[in-house]
Structure 1
Amino acid sequence: MQREMAQKTALIVYAHQSPVSFNAAARDVAVEALTKQGYKVLVSDLYAMSFKSSATADDIKGDLKNPEHFVYNEEMMAAWQDGRLSDDVSEEQHKLEQAELVIFQFPLYWFSVPAIMKGWIDRVLTQGFAFTLQKMYDNGIFKDKKAILSFTTGATESMFLADAVHGDINVLLWPLQNGVLRFCGFQVLAPQIFWCPAHSPASVRSQMLEAWRERLHGVFAEKPLSFAPTEYFDLSFQGGFRLRPEVREKCVSLTHGITTAHHLGKPLPPDNQTKAKES
């Protein structure tokens, strides 16, 4: 008899204070849609958990390696190796280990995530567990996992264009999607952006949620966003971790840069952080 496929697991890292917020509704849609597909869905409701946002020595059980000069990242890596991380960090790491899909659900604060979610990133994605200098980007530890930023904005979509007051949303997303998610190896799927729901009619908010529900039904078949392959770079101190000369030569004829940040002084590739490339 053919063995049944193992149940997939999704983790929703959720940051909003109100249970009647649009973000809560988006979270609930994701839980329902994924559960109907047979997923085991884990939710980390950071405010309800009173998750600590500050990265301190309290995150480590037992003695520090170097109490004279506390270096958080080094101490956390040693504590992770020895099984001495605080219970709340260990529990979140255990959830993340199980998950094939991670959704970060939040309101955009100051062009980034709320402090409590930044604390989750700082404290949970520790060196050794989430990355090493040998295992990052294409070779990252979480290369078999997918991740999505799902968030609300207080401003309209037209305010996040290349010629608009807030600037290009693709530039805004680069630090989170490349500097956090892809750095740890995640296959980063296009963000789910809910534009200005607080100032949208109820019918529009309903349409936003329905589009999210519909998207989640095919989410695992989605193509991830495009990033510069790690093999493009000379990953040595001698080479300065820069583009290999032969790659640079090939890029001379490109109309656009490689990515939003690897722009090479050329126009940015359109929608590099918001849409997957067409096949």
Structure 2
Amino acid sequence: MAQKTVLIVYAHHSPRSFNAAAKDVAVQTLTAQGYKVIVSDLYAMNFQPSATPADFKGNLKNPEHFLYAEEAYIAWKEDRLSDDIKAEHRKVAQADLIIFQFPLYWFSVPAIMKGWIERVLTRGFAYTLQNTYDHGLCKDKKAMLSFTTGAMESKYQPDGINGDINVMLWPLQNGVLHFCGFQVLAPHIFWGPARASPSERTAMLEAWQARLKGLLEEQHVAFAPSELFDLSIQGGFRVRPEVKEAYRSKSYGLTTGQHLGKPLPPDNQTKTAAQDQYLVSGKPS
């Protein structure tokens, strides 16, 4: 069996941070299991987060009206992307799994990691206008978020002051990873390690190590498959009427995003659970 490869995209300034410890545990545990592990340490690399014309070699196709995504797609087709983007493309191409390790900043990833997403998940490389979501170009790869919070878990509950963590994760897990086709594993969340005792932090890392030992065999979280939508201009790319009708009597919506005006499915973006028949096959049970 061919060796599996894991890419860790890591964003923290300090090698003494809890995020650094989580990254190191992942490298050690996965390497011991026989995986090839690659780390993109974004701060150490001084990774450029801004998407600019400098990302493309040669002349712009439309310098009067610079559209980054359009220029990136053309540059990808013509092999004119900057060397740092191409280096990250090679890492992603090798990877069976990508782990994003970071501290939660302003309910999202740090700016340097957002820049990695914008510059590396290039149109043509990670997706096309015809190949998105479960047809995305990364559909044979897995990805997951592993991150620390500054606050306790209760603040991220459906009745917590910060709001439901499932809603917070939807833009990253659906709008970025699932959009590109990745099979998205449930996130690994380290709740408030800065406020935890040394023994509690050790227990957090031990739980992470235990999960890593079976990570690539895990099932992914649930997203509504494309066949549940009318994928036409006329249909507005909305959930098909018969699917809405089938859900009329159900307690919850389809997903965190396609909630159909109903309560959100519990833990839809944080756990792998038994799924509704519609989410499995696109057919009513």
Aligned to 1:204: 200
Q: CA offsets per residue over residues 103-158 of structure 1, 9 Å max, x none?
A: 00000000000000000000001111111121111111111111110000000001
Aligned to 2:264: 268
1:222 aligns with 2:205: no
Equivalent of residue 40 in structure 2, options 39, 44, 67? 44
User: Following superposition, which runs of at least 4 residues in structure 1 exceed 2 angstroms of deviation?
Assistant: none
Aligned to 1:248: 244
1:81 aligns with 2:77: yes
- Secondary structure (helix, strand or coil) at the match of 2:179 reads helix
Of stretches 110-119 and 135-144 in structure 1, the one that deviates more from structure 2 is 135-144
Cα distance in 2, alignment partners of residues 184 and 100 from structure 1: 14
1:173 aligns with 2:201: no
Equivalent of residue 26 in structure 1, options 14, 22, 34? 22
Cα distance in 2, alignment partners of residues 77 and 133 from structure 1: 11
- Secondary structure (helix, strand or coil) at the match of 1:224 reads coil
Q: Return the TM-score normalized by structure 2.
A: 0.95
- Secondary structure (helix, strand or coil) at the match of 1:103 reads strand
Equivalent of residue 237 in structure 1, options 233, 238, 261? 233
Equivalent of residue 13 in structure 1, options 5, 9, 25? 9
Aligned to 2:89: 93
Identify unmatched segments of 5+ residues in structure 2: 276-285
Q: Could you tell me the percent identity over the aligned residues? A: 68
The Cα RMSD (Å) is 0.8
Cα distance in 1, alignment partners of residues 270 and 232 from structure 2: 31
Cα distance in 2, alignment partners of residues 253 and 135 from structure 1: 33
How many residues are matched? Answer: 275
1:110 aligns with 2:106: yes
Aligned to 1:154: 150
Cα distance in 2, alignment partners of residues 204 and 12 from structure 1: 24
- Secondary structure (helix, strand or coil) at the match of 1:184 reads coil
Aligned to 1:186: 182
AA aligned to 2:184 is V
Identify unmatched segments of 5+ residues in structure 1: none
AA aligned to 1:166 is N
Alpha-carbon distance, 1:67 to partner = 1.0
Equivalent of residue 121 in structure 2, options 112, 119, 125? 125
AA aligned to 1:13 is V
